[in-house]
């Protein structure tokens, strides 16, 4: 593999602001800010512990909480497994599921390509309620707790960001954009922050549904933002990766891939020091979070749609050829790799010393000690 190093840090780049902790990866990207980080340390050489055949093509990222692993399939079903890889229940939506689920309060919130968001019981798979948007749901729902209210926010191809009461499924508000919403909205300091196919980053008050800020990125945004320290990190369809200053409503820095100008379809992982993201040009890039300086890049050998995950001082990367890599966050060196041989579009879910990942061959895989 070819790897280009611009700078090698002499210090260990371990986040002091912790994202997901413990044994739960209950939401796409690990926590409501969608930073894609965890303090958990993975084994030096993870082993394949089990694999479960879950029907058709799996495009969504698995999520894990309470000893359960949940993933949706393009066969129209949502699968729930236990930690040993045994099926606990299966729920049929009748339509493909490519959006990652959200696990919260013993419930599963998941949307399908028909535009229906379901609330299921995590232990039984029984349906509690459903809500119908007017077009497909491709991004994960997110959760915000406001006093005694749990609010679910998600985007749809109907151009709207929807907000529902988590207990009842009642619509609290809808916020209209000018194009599809493909990614998930990050929740940060009472605001829903997301990029739209209309070329803007929208900042919306989660309680009221009122627009707070709207920042022009000037191109199609298909992926989800990661929010850290009042800044949004986003890759766009023109091959630019940007840090957006949310307080001052301006782009703090932008890096442009002059070699290829291919889209960023993955979402970034952002800790206190660095931002890491994969591109359609086969490379994973690591940037200084504050300055935008390129620190290293790694050639995975195939296109990257899956978002990376930072686990302590390591980075998990997957590509469309089915290769899994664990990289050293300091320099991009390969510490471990595994060939699944089937395309991976969803990011891993890290739970303790294990991680779960789904692939286009219809399998959910578990790696760990």
Average pLDDT over residues 240-265: 93
What confidence category does residue 243 fall into, taking pLDDT thresholds of 50, 70 and 90? very high
What does the alpha-carbon distance between residue 85 and residue 74 come to, in Å, rounded to a whole number?
19
- Please write the tens of the pLDDT for every residue from 303-348: 999 999 999 999 999 999 999 999 999 999 999 999 999 999 999 9
pLDDT for 6 equals 38
Tokens, residue 320: 């469309």
* Bridge-based pairing state of the strands 309-311 and 37-38: parallel
Strand partners, 149: 146
What does the alpha-carbon distance between residue 123 and residue 58 come to, in Å, rounded to a whole number?
22
Sign of the dihedral through C-alpha 46, 48, 52, 54: positive
Q: How many CB atoms within 10 Å of residue 221?
A: 27
- Please write the tens of the pLDDT for every residue from 199-213: 999 999 999 999 999
Q: Are 195 and 226 in contact (CB under 8 A)?
A: no
Average pLDDT over residues 130-149: 96
What's the pTM? 0.92
What does the alpha-carbon distance between residue 71 and residue 141 come to, in Å, rounded to a whole number?
14
Q: What is the C-alpha end-to-end distance of the chain, expressed in Å?
A: 26
pLDDT for 20 equals 54
* Bridge-based pairing state of the strands 3-5 and 294-299: antiparallel
Contacts of 176 (CB under 8 A, 6+ apart): 159, 160
Domains annotated on the chain, with CATH: 3-368 (2.130.10.10)
- Please write the tens of the pLDDT for every residue from 144-192: 999 999 999 999 999 999 999 999 999 999 999 999 999 999 999 999 9
354: Cα separation from own chain's centroid: 18
What does pLDDT average to over the chain? 93
Q: What is the DSSP string of 73-139?
A: -TTSEEEEEETTS-EEEEEE-SS---SPPEEETTEEEEE-TTSEEEEEETTT--EEEEEE-SS---S
Cα-atom radius of gyration of the chain, to the nearest Å?
A: 19
Average pLDDT over residues 96-125: 98
What confidence category does residue 257 fall into, taking pLDDT thresholds of 50, 70 and 90? confident
- Please write the tens of the pLDDT for every residue from 14-51: 332 334 545 799 999 999 999 999 999 899 999 999 99
- Please write the tens of the pLDDT for every residue from 105-118: 999 999 999 999 99
């Amino acid at each position: 593999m070819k790897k280009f190093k611009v700078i090698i840090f002499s210090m260990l780049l371990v986040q002091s602001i912790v994202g997901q902790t413990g044994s739960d990866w209950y939401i796409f990207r690990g926590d409501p800010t969608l930073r894609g980080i965890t303090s958990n340390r993975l084994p030096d050489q993870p082993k394949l512990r089990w694999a479960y055949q879950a029907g058709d093509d799996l495009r969504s990222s698995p999520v894990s909480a309470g000893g359960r692993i949940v993933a949706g399939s393009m066969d129209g079903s949502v699968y729930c497994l236990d930690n040993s890889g045994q099926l606990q229940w299966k729920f049929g939506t009748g339509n493909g599921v490519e959006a990652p689920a959200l696990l919260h309060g013993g419930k599963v919130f998941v949307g399908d390509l028909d535009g229906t968001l379901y609330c299921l019981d995590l232990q039984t798979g029984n349906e509690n309620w459903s809500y119908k948007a007017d077009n497909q749901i491709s991004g994960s729902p997110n959760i915000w707790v406001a006093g005694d209210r749990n609010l679910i926010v998600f985007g749809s191809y109907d151009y709207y960001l929807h907000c529902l009461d988590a207990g009842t499924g009642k619509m609290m508000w809808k916020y209209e954009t000018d194009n599809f919403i493909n990614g998930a909205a990050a929740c940060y300091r009472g605001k829903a922050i997301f990029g739209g196919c209309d070329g803007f980053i929208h900042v919306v008050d989660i309680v009221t549904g009122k627009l707070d800020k709207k920042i022009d990125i000037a191109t199609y945004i298909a992926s989800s933002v990661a929010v850290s320290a009042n800044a949004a990190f986003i890759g766009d369809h023109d091959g630019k990766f940007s840090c957006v200053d949310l307080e001052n409503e301006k782009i703090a820095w932008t890096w442009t891939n002059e070699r290829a100008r291919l889209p960023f379809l993955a979402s970034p992982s952002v800790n206190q020091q660095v931002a890491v993201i994969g591109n359609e040009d086969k490379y994973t890039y690591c940037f200084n979070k504050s300055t935008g300086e390129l620190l290293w890049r790694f050639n995975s050998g195939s296109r990257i749609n899956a978002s990376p995950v930072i686990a302590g001082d390591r980075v998990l990367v997957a590509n469309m050829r089915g290769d899994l890599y664990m990289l050293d966050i300091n320099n991009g060196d390969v510490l471990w790799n595994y060939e699944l041989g089937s395309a991976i579009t969803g990011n891993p879910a890290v739970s303790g010393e294990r991680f779960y990942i789904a692939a286009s061959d219809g399998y959910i895989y578990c790696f760990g000690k």
